[in-house]
Homo-oligomer: A and B are copies of this chain.
Amino acid sequence: MRQKRFFLSEDLIPRQWYNIVADMPVKPAPMLDPATRKPVTEEDLCRIFCRECARQELNATDRWIDIPGEVREKYTYYRSTPLVRAYGLEEALDTPAHIYFKNESVSPIGSHKLNSALPQAWYCKQEGVSNVTTETGAGQWGTALAYAAKTFGLEAAVYQVKLTYEQKPYRRSMMQVFGAQVTPSPSMSTRAGKDILTANPNHQGSLGTAISEAVELAGMTPGCKYTLGSTMNHVSLHQTVIGLEAEKQMEMAGEYPDIVIACFGGGSNFGGIAFPFLRHNLEGGRNTRFIAAEPESCPKLTKGRFEYDFGDEAGYTPLIPMFTLGHDFVPSNIHAGGLRYHGAGAIVSQLLKDGMMEGMDIPQTESFDAAVLFAKAEGIIPAPESGHAIAAAIREALKCREEGAGKVILFNLSGNGLVDMPSYDQYLRGNLIDFRYKKD
Contact check, A379 vs B421: say whether CB atoms are below 8 A apart: no
A26 at the interface (CB under 8 A from B): no
Q: Indicate whether A404 reaches chain B with its CB closer than 8 angstroms.
A: no
Question: Are A425 and B173 touching (Cβ within 8 A)?
Answer: yes
Task: Known A170-B170, A428-B173; judge A379-B151 contact (CB<8 A).
Answer: yes
Chain B residues whose C-beta falls within 8 Å of the C-beta of A345 in the assembled complex = none
Q: Quote the shortest CB–CB distance from A82 to chain B (angstroms).
A: 9
The listed residue with most B CB atoms (<10 A of its CB), out of A84, A108, A169, A380, is: A108
A375 in the interface, Cβ–Cβ < 8 Å? yes
Contact between chains at A174 and B421 (CB < 8 Å): yes
Q: Which of these binds chain B: A5-13, A59-67, A199-207, A299-307?
A: A5-13
Using A76-B5, A176-B428 as known contacts, say yes or no to A108 and B378 having CB atoms under 8 A apart. Answer: yes
> Which residues from 112 to 135 on chain A have a C-beta closer than 8 Å to any C-beta of chain B?
114
Please name all residues of chain B whose beta carbon is closer than 8 Å to the beta carbon of A4 when the two chains form the complex. 10, 73, 76-77
For A421, what are the chain B residues with a Cβ–Cβ distance below 8 Å?
Answer: 169-170, 173-174, 177, 419
**Residue A424 is within 8 A (CB to CB) of chain B in the complex:** yes
Annotate A169-182 by CB proximity to B: 1 below 8 A, 0 otherwise: 11001101111000
Give the residues in chain B near A418, CB-CB below 8 Å: 110, 170, 174, 416, 418-419
> Can you list 8 pairs linking A and B with CB atoms under 8 Å apart?
A4-B76, A7-B7, A77-B379, A78-B379, A108-B378, A174-B381, A174-B418, A177-B381
Q: Give the B-binding residues of A (Cβ under 8 A).
A: 1, 3-5, 7, 10-11, 73, 76-78, 84, 88, 106, 108-110, 114, 147, 150-151, 169-170, 173-174, 176-179, 372, 375-376, 378-381, 416, 418-419, 421-422, 424-425, 428
Given A4-B77, A114-B379, A173-B424: 10 more A-B contacts, CB < 8 Å: A5-B10, A5-B77, A77-B84, A170-B418, A170-B421, A174-B421, A176-B428, A177-B424, A416-B418, A419-B421
